[in-house]
Structure 1
Amino acid sequence: MGKLDGKVVLITGCSTGLGKQQAIRLAEEGASLAICARNEEKLHVTKEICEERGAEVLAMQVDIMDYDRLVAFVEATAETFGRIDVLVNNAHTITVPAPFLDKTIEDLDLEMRSSVYAYWHLMQLCFPHMREREGAGTSIINFASEAGVMGDSLYAPYAASKEAVRGLSRVVAREWGQYNIRVNTLCPNGMTDSISGGIDWMPKETREHIEHMFVNNPFGRVGDPYVDVAPVTVFLASDDSRWITGQNIHADGGSLINA
C-alpha cells in the first residue's frame, strides 16, 4: 500500500524540474493526479511516467497566471475524480537573477502573479472541494524559498514573492483549521534539470553564486529533487502530517539551520 492511496492531488508546474519529480513520487505512493504546466508536450511525458507508476492522471495545459484556466483546471479535477485531497502549489516563473537596482517592477509583477496570486486563486478555488473532510482532513502545500528567508543576493522579486506566500499561508492555516484543512509551506533545495540547464548561459560570477547556493549545506552536496525533496511533499500530503499546520519546512540539507 502507498502512503497516498485513495487521495487526489492537484499539483502545478509538472512539465520539468521539481514539479515533475514530485508528481512521479506522488504517483508511486498511490495518489491520483491532476497535473498542469504551460508546456503541453513535456507535461504529456510526465503524465505517461506517472501512469506507468500506476496513477490515474488528468493533465491540462495551464498558465497559472490565467485565472480562467485555473478555474477550468480545478473544475476538471473535481469532475474527473470527485474530490481534491491535496493542493501542491509548486509552479513559479522566476526572472533572471540580477542585483536589485537592475530589476524592474515588471519583474516583480511577473513573479507575484506566478506565485502568490496564483496560489491565492487556487486555494480559494479548491476550498469547496477540500473543506470539512473527516479524519486527517486535507492538505495544502505552498512552495516558498530559502532565498526569501535569508534574503539571497540577486533574488529580490523571487524573495519578495516567496515571503508573501509564507505570510499568506500562515493566515490561511489559522483560518482554515476549523475546516480540517492544514496549510504549510516548503522551502526546497534541489538541483533540477530546469535549473542546471538554465544557468549555463549566465555570467560566470552569477553562475558560481547560484551553484554555491546548492552545495552550501552540512552535507556539502547538491540535493536531488526526487530522492531528497519529493518525500517531504509526500509526508505533508499524507495523513501522517495531520497535526502539522502553519509551519515552514526546509527540505534543504541544512542550508538554513535555526531553532
Structure 2
Amino acid sequence: MGKIDGKVVLITGCSTGLGKQQAIRMAEEGANLAICARNMDKLNETKRICEEAGAEVLAMSVDIMDYDSLVAFVDATAERFGRIDVLVNNAHTITIPKPFLDKTIEDLDVEMKSSVYAYWHLMKLCFPHMRDREGAGASIVNFASEAAVMGDSLYAPYAAAKEAVRGLSRVVAREWGQYNIRVNTLCPNGMTENASGGLTSLSEEARAHVQAAFINNPFRRAGSPYEDVAPVTVFLASDDSRWITGQNIHADGGALINA
C-alpha cells in the first residue's frame, strides 16, 4: 500500500530532472498523475515509467508561461480524473548564472513568468477541483530555493522569482486553510541531469560556484532527486502532512541550518 494511494497529482516539468523523479516516486506510492513539459518525447518516457509502476497517467505538452496552455492542462486533468488532490509546482526556466550587472530585465521576465506567474495561475485554476476535500484535504507544494533564501551570487532573477513564490505561498496558505487546502514550499538540493549537463555552458567562475553549492552541506555530497528529494514531496502530498501548512521545508542535507 502506497503513501498516496488513489490521489490525483498534477505536477509540472516532468520530462527530466526533479520533476521526472518525483513523478516516478509518486507513481510508485500509488498516485495517478497529470504530468506536463514542453518536450513530449522525453515526457512520454516519464509516462511509460510511471505507467509501469501502476499509475494512470495523463501527459501533455504544456508551456507553463502560456496561460491558455495551463487552462487546457487543468481542464484535461479534471475531465480525466474528476478531481485534483495535489498540485506540485515544480517547473521553472532558469537563466544562465551571471553577476547582477550582467543580467537583463528579459532574464527576470523569463524566471518570473515560468515560476511565480505560472504557480499563481495554476493554484487558481486548480482551486475549484481541490477545495473542501474531506479528511486531510488537498495539498499544494510550490518549489522554492535555498539559493534565494541565502541570496546566492549570480542568481538575481532566480532569487527574486523564488522568494516571490515563498511570499505568495504563505498568503495562500492562510487564506485557503478554510477550504482544507494546505500550501507549503520546498527548497531542494538534488543534482539532476539538467544541472550537471548545464555546467559546461557556464563560465569557470560560475561552474565552480554551482558545483560547490551542491555539496555545501554536512554530508558533503549532492542530493539524489529520487532518493533524497522526492520522498519529501510525497510526504507533503500525503495525509501525514495534514497539519502542516504555510511552511518552507529544506530537503537539502542541512545546507541551511537555523533556529
TM-score (norm 1): 1.00
Letter in 1 for 2:50: C
Equivalent residue for 2:104?
104
Q: 3-state SS of the aligned residue for 1:9?
A: strand
> Structure 1 CA distance, aligned partners of 2:100 and 2:205?
16
Equivalent residue for 1:241?
241
> Structure 2 CA distance, aligned partners of 1:254 and 1:150?
13
Q: 3-state SS of the aligned residue for 1:200?
A: helix
> Structure 1 CA distance, aligned partners of 2:202 and 2:128?
44
TM-superposed CA distance for 1:200, in Å, is 1.5
Letter in 1 for 2:105: I
| 2:214/2:222 contact within 8 Å kept | yes
1:107-159 CA-partner distances (Å, limit 9, x unpaired): 00110000000000000000000000110000000000001100000000000
Letter in 1 for 2:7: K
TM-superposed CA distance for 1:233, in Å, is 0.1
| 2:191/2:222 contact within 8 Å kept | yes
TM-superposed CA distance for 1:201, in Å, is 2.6
Where does 1:1-259 land on structure 2 (aligned, <5 Å)? 1-259=1-259
TM-superposed CA distance for 1:202, in Å, is 1.6
In structure 2, list runs of 5 or more residues that go unmatched.
none
> Structure 2 CA distance, aligned partners of 1:158 and 1:134?
36
TM-superposed CA distance for 1:83, in Å, is 0.6
In structure 1, list runs of 5 or more residues that go unmatched.
none
- Report percent identity of matched pairs: 83
Q: Aligned residues, how many?
A: 259
TM-score (norm 2): 1.00
TM-superposed CA distance for 1:3, in Å, is 0.5
1:148-203 CA-partner distances (Å, limit 9, x unpaired): 10000000000000000000000000000000000000000010011100112322
Q: 3-state SS of the aligned residue for 1:21?
A: helix
Letter in 1 for 2:104: T
Letter in 2 for 1:160: A
RMSD: 0.4
Q: 3-state SS of the aligned residue for 2:200?
A: coil
| 2:97/2:202 contact within 8 Å kept | no
